[in-house]
Amino acid sequence: MTWIFAAMAVWSLLGLAPLAARSARRAGDFGIAVTLLGAALAAVPVVLTLAGRPPAAFSHPWAVPYGSLAFALDGLSAFFMVPLLLLTSLGAIFGWKYWQHEDGPIGPTWLFYNLLIASMVAVLCARNGVLFLVAWETMALVSFFLVTSHAGDVEVRKAGWIYLIATHLGSVFLLPMFVTLGQAGTSLDFDHLAAPGTLAPATAAIVFVLAVLGFGSKAGFLPMHVWLPEAHPAAPSPVSAVMSGVMIKLGIYGILRVLLLLGAPAAWWGWLLVGIGLASGVFGVLMALAQHDLKRLLAYSSVENIGIIAMGIGVGIIGLASGQTLVAILGFAGALWHVVNHALFKGLLFLGAGAIQHATGTRQLDRLGGLLKTMPRTGVAVLVGSAAISGLPPLNGFASEFAIFLGALVGATTPSRSGLAGLLVVAAGLALIGGLATACFAKAFGVVFLGVPRSDAVEGAHDPGAAMLWPLGILAGTCALLGLGAPLLLPALLPAISLLTGLPAAMASAQLHFLWRSLIAVEATILILAILFFALYAVRSRWLAARPVSRAVTWDCGFGGATARMQYSSAAFAMPLISAFSAVVASHGEVTGLSALFPREGSWSGHSGDIFKAALSRGFGALQRILRRFRRLQNGNLQVYVLYIALTMLVLLVWKLGI
Amino acid sequence: MPIALLHFALALVLSPMLLSLTHRTKAFFAGRQGAPWLQPYFELGRLLRKGAVFSTTTSWVFQVAPALGLAAAMAALTLLPFAGHRAIIAFPGDLLLFSGLLALWRFAAILAALDTGSSLEGMGASREAALSALGEPALILALGAIARQTGQLSLSGMLPALTVQTWNQAWPVLALLLVTLALVYLAENGRVPFDDPTTHLELTMIHEVMILDSSGPDLAFIEYAAALKLWILGALMAAILAPVSPLPEAPALLLALAGMAGVAIATGVTESVMARSRLNRLPKVLGTASILVAVALLLIQR
């Protein structure tokens, strides 16, 4: 644990250094040095733990009631640390140059960035309820300040408040959850909570539901996802990458941790997660498809991927509850793996969106186009990310979805357990989500990078400098590597999986071998695909080299007056699917100016609202009307507040001492 | 393995023949004589011998996509069992890779269409994306239902496990699955009622409009990949329609080929007796396909 403490000290104490820096450039130098130094320190125990070292633990009495200052690093924590350290480091390298062009001081941004890393590591290592909640709240507050970096913008402030409220609503459920667990045990230390499996089924169910609500609001489960599409676009790109790639995954971590604390799960917990996952996945990707703002699109796609992860955990729980360990292992393996994969490709895409915004000054899809010619390297990286997030072979997104799919298929074909046939829902859900994601990211990449520029924003765009390009390249390379080298990476999943399934490592490893064999066969097919592709491409290029090849305009039916604005827009591309799903995506367009028989100018504006956001804001409106009556108590008069304090203490004294 | 390779080669050689068979059927219904049997091969040969014209708008994506699409279709073919015999590659869960490779083919085709910056090709790409996003779950669900029925985890396990016996025991299930697969087959291959391959108006096309700017060997690759896709999805239907399981090698192969011919002729008959449907009705038709499988699954559960 010493390494982790050293890293946390670096991030939080040395993290103050950028505040003292004179220039933006110097602040960036300090900031990135702190991030990378801390990450290097923390990486040591993470690698050791994943390699099979027994978990490290630290416990010390402290003045805070209900337990001790307890930290530990086990297989599950270490596994989540991998994407955390990787993505925050790459985000810092990207931000190093990205933030230099900001107006206003960037010292605080760097401080909060490093504090965010420290608090996320603290969440992963905390082994005491109070400590966990403190770290959790620190993470929420620090990220709130990062989201509101551009607080001068009214939209950003609004997004910040939505985020703050959403995250605190989540915490409301976590407090009673820990209290319920602690009441059955001796203290709030995770080791002294109710022993796994000893809680009454009803109590365990309450704890689980509270965990799903509390952690789910951070992860972005439907319908608590509404903050994501607000906060992610508002935050600077490196922060969006870290929040979407890593921070929301801590909600997933929380659910898994609570599962460990609870012991043997009930089957309906799994079905609940499968249902939530399916709803989040389909709704998330449909809303992503409907967006015109690149970062909002990416934010909704995070809801989709969280849904896929939830389905994987659901499959795992169902497998555990029905005694099908292979199903459980495949489900958990796919879910954990997708956590890493989503961190990689979503981090890549958010940083790519940052590079695009940096180069063109806009995130509106319909103002972009043809960027592949002016930003070729960014384009290749974003193309890899788009294919990976669509779950296409041979990239990493396919590998993790394959594991979840295989788990569902194995469960559904188990002859004796007919109830598990319902797992085919997961298989079909993954296919639907995959198809919609392919449409969504083909649209995003196609509209931004292909065709011709739709506005003059694209003029003079160019690839960013090396410091911003390298993180994109590394992330794209890792996406490809984790797809092609998928079988080699299974051992890294083993410590976490053996914890989650309660199987000894040797047994879990033997079961994982089943997945390993399938993945080897996948890679063999990919090899055939690669050989065929290169052969076909070489033959065709050779033929064309010896033949007349000419260039002409794109076929326009002989019209001759085609303009860039006549290209298919993002709204037009998405229209058939959006109108097919009009029941869940409230999309409406407005045409103005086309009135007379020969109209000259017209305009169309489209908007896709989030039905859940509308419903929630109606709910909040009603709540506000009720609570308005209590406003009289909050009159802003200091003397009255002191009176409240005195009265409260008096009541407590009377109650406690029984006077 | 040698037999699997033979089947692979047969698919590569015979798949354009399916097109010919469909054309001839349509010609018969229309009272025409029809093109020569080898016409699709002549056309592929003609395109392969040509040079090419590329749009000035296009980038490397447009050049790479046709070869990638054809490679993906051929790789999917290595996973496809035929005539009751296992495929070149078979493993638990290979159906997802199978559908993933078809998705990769489609992703490449959509990007190539968007690369031209043409509104017509964008339109085709959008329609293709919409139809296939809805067709994919129907396909996976149908294959999953076969997996559930036969207790097998790979395509090479589940399709040969269907026998005449299965028809006797569970004919309503198989019939429903056949209808679903037929809808997916027609949609994915751009046939009537989803798309009319012989239409002459760009505004109404799906598949044909995506390749307006392709020419020469690239166009040949695209057309050939489309023929392979007819074979690939047709073989899934043929495996249900004509289960060959207990037969010895040679008669099994003949029966399977007859099944493929049956699918091609049925396509021609469908195109001759039906008009294409309105575009905005198509998502509902494909949604129905998924619901039919759901019904089939309930029947299996019974």
ipTM given for this complex: 0.96
A517 and A653 within one domain: no
Cβ(B84)–Cβ(B147) under 8 Å?
no
Q: Min CA distance, A292 vs chain B (Å)?
A: 15
pLDDT band of B302, cuts 50, 70, 90: low
Q: Does residue A418 surpass a pLDDT of 70?
A: no
pLDDT tens for residues A585-606? 887 878 887 887 888 788 888 7
A639 and A522 within one domain: no
A229: amino acid identity, one letter = P
Indicate yes or no: CB of A517 within 8 angstroms of CB of B52: no
A647 and A580 within one domain: no
A375 and A429 within one domain: yes
Q: Which uninterrupted H or E stretch holds B293?
A: helix B282-301
Q: What is the mean pLDDT of residues B59-70?
A: 96
Q: Does residue A417 surpass a pLDDT of 80?
A: no
The per-residue pLDDT for B2 is 86
pLDDT tens for residues A343-357? 999 999 999 999 999
Phi and psi at A609, nearest 5°, equal -90, 155
Average pLDDT, chain B: 92
Residues 137-156 of B with CB under 8 A from A: 137, 139-141, 144-145, 147-148, 151-153
Q: Does residue A550 surpass a pLDDT of 80?
A: yes
- Residue closest to A28 by CA, chosen among A98, A84, A85, A90: A98
A463: amino acid identity, one letter = D
Angle between helices A107-125 and A24-50 (to 10 degrees): 10
Regarding beta strands A68-73 and A56-61, do their DSSP bridges make them parallel or antiparallel, or are they unpaired? antiparallel
Q: Does residue B68 surpass a pLDDT of 90?
A: yes
Considering only residues B233 and B195, tell me which one the structure prediction assigns the higher pLDDT. B233
The per-residue pLDDT for A3 is 92
**Among chain A residues, CA nearest to B148:** A413
The per-residue pLDDT for A659 is 63
Indicate yes or no: CB of A451 within 8 angstroms of CB of B57: yes
pLDDT tens for residues B106-130? 999 999 999 999 989 999 999 999 9
**Among chain A residues, CA nearest to B72:** A529
A479 and A396 within one domain: yes
Q: Does residue A20 surpass a pLDDT of 80?
A: yes
Number of domain units in chain B: 1
Distance (Å, whole) CA A53 – CA A3: 15
Q: Does residue A281 surpass a pLDDT of 90?
A: yes
Q: Does residue A559 surpass a pLDDT of 90?
A: no
A517 and A657 within one domain: no
Average pLDDT, chain A: 91
The per-residue pLDDT for A31 is 92
Number of domain units in chain A: 2
Indicate yes or no: CB of A552 within 8 angstroms of CB of B55: yes
Structure tokens at A72: 């530990």
Distance (Å, whole) CA A175 – CA A66: 13
pLDDT tens for residues B1-56? 789 999 999 999 999 999 999 999 999 999 999 999 999 999 999 999 999 999 99
Cβ(A265)–Cβ(A187) under 8 Å?
no
Which residues of chain A are within 8 Å of residue B151 when distances are taken between CB atoms?
Answer: 413, 415
Q: Does residue A407 surpass a pLDDT of 90?
A: yes
Q: Does residue A230 surpass a pLDDT of 70?
A: yes
Number of A:B CB contacts under 8 A?
A: 276
A647 and A524 within one domain: no
A316 and A410 within one domain: yes
Q: In sequence order, which residues have a C-beta less than 8 Å from that of residue A119 and are 6 or more positions away? A: A135, A138, A139, A142
A435 and A468 within one domain: yes
Q: What is the mean pLDDT of residues A22-43?
A: 91
Cβ(A533)–Cβ(B68) under 8 Å?
yes
Indicate yes or no: CB of B110 within 8 angstroms of CB of A442: yes
Structure tokens at A79: 């596994």
Q: What is the mean pLDDT of residues A169-178?
A: 92
Beta bridge partner(s), residue A364: A293
DSSP code for A225: G
Q: Give the one of A451, A518, A548 whose C-beta lies nearest to B114's C-beta.
A: A451
pLDDT tens for residues A101-143? 777 778 899 999 999 999 999 999 999 999 999 999 999 999 9
Q: What is the mean pLDDT of residues A279-290?
A: 95
Q: B273 is in which domain, residue-wise?
A: 2-301
pLDDT tens for residues B198-232? 877 777 788 888 999 999 999 999 999 999 999 99
A319 and A452 within one domain: yes
Dihedral (CA of A514, A520, A523, A528) sign: negative
| SS3 (DSSP) at B214 | coil
Q: A420 is in which domain, residue-wise?
A: 265-483+513-542+569-588
**Among chain A residues, CA nearest to B61:** A450
Cβ(A183)–Cβ(A192) under 8 Å?
no
A639 and A525 within one domain: no
* Domain annotation covers residue A534: yes
Q: What is the mean pLDDT of residues B252-264?
A: 94
The per-residue pLDDT for A516 is 94
% of residues, chain B, pLDDT over 90:
71
